[in-house]
Amino acid sequence: MTGPLGRPFALPKEPVSCVLVGEGYAAAPLFPLAERLRERGCTVTLVVAGPDEAHLLSALEARRSARAVTVVTEDGSVGRRGLVADVIAEVLTKAAAEVVYAAGPVPTLHAVAAAAEAHGAWSQTALERPLTCATGLCHGCAVPVVGEAGISRTARACVDGPVLRGDRVRWTDLRTDLSAEPEAAR
Amino acid sequence: MTDLAGLRLASPVLVASGCGGTGRELAAYGPLAELGGFVTRTLTLNARPGGPQPRILETPSGLVHAVGLQNPGLEGFLATELPWLAQQGARIIVSIAGSSLGEYAELARRLGGSPGVSAIEVNLSSPDAPTTGVFDVREPFHAASVVAAVHRDLPRGVPVLAKLRADVVRVVESARTVLDAGAAAVVVGNALPAAMPDGRQAGLSGPAILPVALRCVADLRAELPDAEVVGVGGITTAEDARSFLAAGATAVQIGTALLHDPTTAARVAAELRDGVPLHTGTSTSTD
Ligand SMILES: Cc1cc2nc3c(=O)[nH]c(=O)nc-3n(C[C@H](O)[C@H](O)[C@H](O)COP(=O)(O)O)c2cc1C
């Protein structure tokens, strides 16, 4: 056994307004994150999304850990009908968000990162990539990013991530790259 | 101690190309200086972003992979990775590939003069070479011209290791040709040519290919008894390594097993050095 591996969500030093977006099972780590943010005096707003009610992580638990919760399902079986992309801008504005945390499929992370940038908030996105070695040895989990001085480079989701700054990921390149991989691209 | 290609190595166990990251990630699991050597992932003159996803998939007892030679290019390597590796006291073997003989020669010139570089491993066997645009060396004659070009531009004392495909039918002929062209040793071998489920060119490595690589080493020993051979393919345990050494390999490299357990190379090196209880519970030692 070895761990912990990689880089986690970075916590803000100041008590700021935070929006946490989780889609599907990937939303799970956001609940403990919400706890830690609240301990630091941050205001926490949650967006929980999934294809339908059966694939939604506990909205009840979400209500316990956040001041405001928005539930979104694709089929509208509970909460608002639609995608995270449809509601995120409004949520960020309402919460006056300064930091956005997101976990879920790549298109959702892309939408959140773009909305955060438009809103002037920092975003931290947890990428879910198949990891072969998980220790940085194999270069299997490449993620195209913008590095220092704007230079394009390739990060490894396992050691440089899985949490990467949303404004650093080259989302369009990543999505093109994943198009051969139906499950992750979803 | 192991003598390979005129170099004295701390152990007969080396890290195979492309399976040790930049070295930093692996060093978290044991000092690199205690290994026989660290072979870098294959470097090209210019940086390469690597291929599309998926790059690596699991197969029964192995991995199929098409990383596409992702690397920071010669400049990036010299600026950031080499100085750090040298500081660790690691025996550094730089793996190279070029798209032309001129590129190979330039890589050899620049690397051969860089402090800390012990040897050059010429990657003549990339299983996805045609898609990565490296100089086509499927013909032994072309492989030999690459080795000759690299050898000519390296300072004395920096040997060329030629990494071949574990192609049982052609390995003896290939080895003979590259040794005649100036290679000090042959490394057998690379991942076997394979395909991804979507048909892309890829390599197959891991325990699944061990018997094939072992056969190549045995054939080389029989046909070219004076050749120095480094065995690589599927080694996971000290017992596997001993099979290769017994078949005539001077040293071994460990690749895929590190991706499963990053301590494998350190563990196998320690077991070969100290001798450890095997399954039988008796203690064995190797010279
Ligand atoms: C993810 C991965 C990347 C590799 N990259 C390289 C490379 O850049 N250059 C090279 O010569 N061999 C490369 N190899 C091949 C290995 O060095 C080794 O020759 C082969 O995998 C067989 O050994 P193994 O079964 O112990 O891995 C790579 C193998 C893997 C699994």
Cβ atoms of residues B80 and B72 within 8 Å = yes
The CA distance from A138 to A57, in Å, is 33
What crossing angle do the helices spanning A171-178 and A106-119 adopt, rounded to 10°?
A: 170
Cis amide linkage into residue A4, ω under 30° from 0: yes
* pLDDT tens track, chain A, 186 positions: 788 899 999 999 999 999 999 998 888 889 999 999 999 999 999 999 999 888 887 767 777 778 888 999 999 888 899 999 999 999 999 999 999 999 999 999 999 999 999 999 999 999 988 888 999 999 999 999 998 777 778 899 999 999 999 999 999 989 887 765 544 433
**B53: nearest CB among A136, A152, A180:** A180
Cβ of B262 closer than 6 Å to ligand 1, yes or no, is no
**B49: nearest CB among A133, A154, A180:** A154
pLDDT in tens, B34-62: 999 999 999 999 999 888 889 999 999 99
Q: What is the three-class DSSP state of A145?
A: strand
**A142: nearest CB among B65, B70, B260:** B70
Contact list in A for residue B258 (CB cut-off 8 A) is 133, 137
If one residue of B13, B14, B15, B19 were mutated to test the ligand 1 pocket, choosing by the most ligand atoms within 8 A of its CB, it would be B19
ipTM of the complex: 0.82
Q: Count CB neighbours of B279 within 10 A.
A: 6
Question: pLDDT-based confidence at B285, cuts 50/70/90?
Answer: very low
Is B35 in the A-facing interface, judged by CB distances under 8 Å? no
Stated as kind and residue range, the H or E segment containing B176 is helix B171-180
Cis amide linkage into residue B206, ω under 30° from 0: no
In chain A, where the domains are located: 15-126, 129-186
Is B199 in the A-facing interface, judged by CB distances under 8 Å? no
Burial code (b: 16+ CB inside 10 Å, e: under 16) for A114-152 equals: bbbeebebbbbbbbbbbbbbbbbbbbbbbbbbeeeeeee
Cβ atoms of residues B234 and B205 within 8 Å = yes
Torsion of the alpha carbons at A137, A140, A143 and A146, rounded to the nearest 10 = 50
In CATH, what number does B2-273 get? 3.20.20.70
Cβ atoms of residues A47 and A115 within 8 Å = no
pLDDT confidence of residue B211: 98
Q: What is the mean pLDDT of chain B?
A: 93
Mark yes or no for CB contact B55/A180 under 8 Å.
Answer: no
Residue that has been written with the tokens 């040897």 in this structure: B119
pLDDT in tens, B107-146: 999 999 999 999 999 999 999 877 778 888 888 899 999 9
Is B30 in the A-facing interface, judged by CB distances under 8 Å? no
Mark yes or no for CB contact B259/A180 under 8 Å.
Answer: no
Nearest to A49, CA basis, from A124, A122, A114, A102 = A102
* CATH, domain A15-126, list 3.40.50.80, 3.40.190.10, 3.10.129.10, 3.90.78.10: 3.40.50.80
In chain B, where the domains are located: 2-273
pLDDT confidence of residue A179: 67
